[in-house]
Chain A
Amino acid sequence: MTTWIDKAMPGLVIAPVLVPLAAAALLLLMRESNRRAKAAVDIAACVVNLAVVVALAAWTTRGDAGAVGVYLASNWRAPFGIVLAADRLSAMMLVLAAVLVLAAALFAVPRWHQAGAHFHSLLQLELMGVNGAFLTADLFNLFVFFEVMLAASYGLLLHGSGRARVRAGLRYIAVNLAASSLFLIGVAIVYGTVGTLNYADIARKIADVQHADRGLLHAGAAILGVAFLAKAAIWPLNFWLVPAYRAASPPAATVFAILTKVGLYVVLRLWMLLVSVDPSALVVHGGDALVAGGLATLAFGAVAMLASQNLRALACYAVVSSSGTVLAAVGLGTAPLVGGALYYLAGSTLAVATLFLVAELAERTREVEAAPPDVDVAAPHLPFYVDVPGQGESSAFDDTGDTLLIGQAIPAATAFLGMSFLAVALVIAGLPPLSGFLAKFAMLAVLLDPRALDATSASTSIPVTHWLFVALLVGAGFTAIVAMSRSGARLFWAPEGRATPHLRAIECLPVAAFLVIFAAMAARAGPIVDYTRAAASGVIDPARYIDAVLAASPVASAGDAARVAPAEARR
C-alpha cells in the first residue's frame, strides 16, 4: 500500500484535478438519453477520486510533522511555474469534498439527473474546481479554479430550471461576478507590491516589502479577504446564500455545502501564511475583524434558524452559523482551537448536506412537482408552538377520535428518515453522543482554558471575546435544537394522515452512509482530532509548507534536463 502511494507521488497530487476533468469531458461526449451509463461513469469517477484523496490524506500523515506533497506542473521550479501542494489541511478538505460529491451523484440517480441536461458533467467540473482550489499553491490558479467552481455551480444551481431557480441564479451569478472582480483587484495589488503570486514565495518576500507599499499591500489583502469572506458567507456579506441554496435542487445543495468551506479554507491558508511572516500589522487589523465577523455570523445564523419556516431554510442557516464558528476560531488562531474548529467543520458540513437530502425525501410527499415551491408562497405556516385549536390536547387517538395511535408501527421509510433527521439535529446542535458535541467540546475546552491560547502568560483570566464565543456557541446549539425539534415534530409527528414517502435504496444509501460517518467520527474522535490539530498547526506555522514548495525539485529524467536548465539559470 505505502509503496504504491510512494510510486504514485507526486503525480497523486494532481490526480484529484485530472480525474474529474477527464470524467467531465467523457460525460460530455455521451448521449444525454443514456442516463444510466452517464450516472455509472459519474459514480465511478467519484469513487476513484475518493480513493485518490484518501491515499493522499494517508500520505500526508507521514512522520511526526506530516509531509507536504508538491507537484510541479511542467517540471518548472516553484516560484516560476504552477505548483500544486497537498498538506494535511488540503487533504482533509479534499476527502470532505469527495464524500459530498459522491453522495450527490448517488442521490441524483433516481430522479434529479433527469431534471436537466449535463448534470453529471457539471458535478464533475464542480469537483475539479473545488479540488483545484484546495490544492493550488498559487494565487492566480486559485482564481482560475474558483471560476471553474463557480461556473459549474451556476449550472448546478439552475439545474431543473423553473422560475425560482432562475431568479435566485441571476442574483447568485451577479454577486459572484462582483466578488470575482474584487478577487482580481486583490491579486493585482498583491502582485504589484510583493512581485509574486506563489503562496510560499509571497510569505517569504512579504518581509521585504517597503514601508511605503505596506498600506497598499494591506489594502490588497483586505480586498482579497472581502472576496473570500463573501464566499465563506460572513455576515453581512451572506445575503446571497439562503435564496440560492434554498432554490437549488437537493443534490446541488449538497455539493454547495462545500463551497462556503472553500472560502473558509482560503482565508485560513492565506491569512496564516501572511501572518506567520508579518505578525505586526495584519494580526492587529485582521484577527479582530475575523473574530468579530465570525461571532456576528454565528449570532445571525443562530437567530435566523429560529425564524426559518422550513427545513431547507434551516439547513441554509446551519451553513451560515457553521461558517461563523469556524471564522471566529480562525480569527483567534491557535492550533488546538482551529483543530477543534476543523473537526467541527467536517461534521457540520456533512450534517448540513444530509439535512438537504433528508428534507427532500421527507417533503417529497407534500410536493409532487420537481420544481421547488415558490419561496414567497411557501411560508404561511405558523410556528408549531403556537396553539392551533383542537391540536393542543394530548390524546392517544387521532383527530377523528376513533383510531388508536398507540401500537401502530411507523412505516420503515418514515422511521429511517426520522432517525436520520435526529442524527443530523444532534450533530448540528452539538448534543452528545455524535460528533457535533465532541467538536464543540474540543473548542470550548480550549476557549475556557486561559493558558491554552498563550502558554507564557501568567494571567488566569479569560478574555471577554472568549466568553462571548462560548455564549454564542452554546446559544447557537440551543436555538438549533429548538428550531430542529419544531421542524422535526411538524414533519414526522404531524397528526394528519400523510402518505408514506417512497424511497429508493440508492437515495437512502448516501443518507445511511452519512449516518455511519457521524457514528465513526464520534467513535474515532481521538485520532480525527489529532489529525485536524496537526493540520491546524501545519497551517498556522507554515514553515514546512513554504520549505516544501520552494525546495521541490523537478523530476530528473533524461529528456527533462534541457527543460530544467532555464529554471536553474534564472535562480
Chain B
Amino acid sequence: MEVVVALAIGVIGGSGVYLLLRPRTFEVIMGLALISYAVNLFIFSMGSLALGDEPIVKPGVAADLAHYTDPIPQALVLTAIVIGFAMTALFLVVLLASRGLTGSDHVDGAEPDR
C-alpha cells in the first residue's frame, strides 16, 4: 500500500509541477490544485497508513497507534484542504480579472512574440 500511495503522490505532484510551469493561467491553476492534492495525500500518509482504523479511543483497547490511526494528520489535512480551496478560489478570481483586463490568458498578461 505504501508503494501505491507513494506512486500516486509522485505522479500527482509531478503532473502538478509540470502544469505549474506552463504559460497559460488555466494550466497554472490546475497545477496548483494537483500540487495541493499531492501535499494533502502526503500529510495524510505521514500519520502512518492504516486500513479501517479509527482515530477515536474505544473502551478496552490500548490507546496507541497499533490500534488506532493518528487523528492529528487528519485534522491537519482538513485545515489544509479548506485553506487550499479558498486560495484556489481567490486565484481563480485574479485569473479571471487578468483575462478581462488583458484579453489574454498568458501568465505575462500578453501573448509572447512569435
A residues contacting B by CB (< 8 A) are 140, 143-144, 147, 150-151, 154, 158, 161-163, 166-167, 169-171, 173-174, 177-178, 180-181, 184-185, 187-189, 191-192, 197
Contacts and interface: CB of A to CB of B under 8 A. Distances in A.
B32 A174 contact: yes
A154 B90 contact: yes
A219 to B, nearest CB: 13
24 contacts: A140-B79, A143-B79, A143-B83, A144-B79, A147-B83, A151-B86, A151-B90, A154-B94, A166-B101, A169-B94, A170-B109, A173-B87, A174-B28, A174-B91, A177-B91, A180-B83, A180-B87, A184-B39, A184-B42, A188-B39, A188-B43, A188-B46, A191-B47, A192-B46
Given A178-B32, A188-B43, A166 B98 contact: yes
A120 to B, nearest CB: 19
B97 A166 contact: yes
Contacts of A174: 20, 28, 32, 91, 107
A388 B90 CA distance: 48
A384 to B, nearest CB: 31
Given A167-B102, A178-B35, A181-B36, A191 B72 contact: yes
A187 B76 contact: yes
Contact of A185 (B25, B39, B90, B97): B39
B81 to A, nearest CB: 11
Given A140-B79, A144-B79, A173 B90 contact: yes
A166 B73 contact: no
Interface in B51-88: 72-73, 76, 79-80, 83, 86-87
A140 B73 CA distance: 11
A125 B72 CA distance: 27
Contacts of A162: 101
Interface residues of B, number: 30
B111 interface: no
B98 A170 contact: yes
Nearest to B38: A181
A154 B91 CA distance: 9
Q: Which of A154, A184, A189 has the most CB of B within 10 A?
A: A184
Contacts of A189: 46
Contacts of B47: 191-192
A145 to B, nearest CB: 11
B43 A184 contact: yes
A184 B76 CA distance: 9
A515 to B, nearest CB: 37
A167 B98 contact: yes
Contacts of B46: 188-189, 191-192
Contacts of A171: 107
B25 A170 contact: yes
Nearest to B83: A147
Interface of B: 20, 25, 28, 32, 35-36, 39, 42-43, 46-47, 72-73, 76, 79-80, 83, 86-87, 90-91, 94-95, 97-98, 101-102, 107-109
A178 B91 CA distance: 12
Given A163-B101, A166-B98, A188 B76 contact: yes
B109 A163 contact: yes
B109 to A, nearest CB: 4
The 10 A-B residue pairs with the shortest CB-CB distance in the complex, in nearest-first order: A192-B46, A188-B43, A167-B109, A188-B46, A184-B39, A147-B83, A181-B39, A166-B98, A163-B101, A166-B97
A20 B40 CA distance: 30
A392 to B, nearest CB: 39
B68 to A, nearest CB: 14
Given A167-B98, A174-B28, A151 B87 contact: yes
Given A170-B94, A188-B73, 14 more contacts: A144-B79, A144-B83, A163-B109, A170-B25, A173-B87, A174-B91, A174-B107, A180-B87, A181-B32, A185-B39, A188-B43, A188-B76, A189-B46, A191-B46
A87 B84 CA distance: 31
A501 to B, nearest CB: 29
A21 B98 CA distance: 30
Contact of A158 (B20, B94, B107): B94
Contacts of A184: 39, 42-43, 80
Contacts of A187: 43, 76
B32 A188 contact: no
Nearest to B44: A188
A147 B91 CA distance: 13
A191 to B, nearest CB: 6
Nearest to B36: A181
Contacts of B101: 162-163, 166
Contact of B108 (A150, A158, A167): A167
A455 to B, nearest CB: 42
Contacts of B87: 147, 150-151, 173, 177, 180
Contacts of B42: 184-185, 188
A192 B80 CA distance: 16
A169 B43 CA distance: 28
Nearest to B96: A166
Contacts of B86: 151
A187 B72 CA distance: 12
A72 B39 CA distance: 29
B103 to A, nearest CB: 10
A158 B98 CA distance: 11
A150 B90 CA distance: 11
A178 B43 contact: no
A170 B35 contact: no
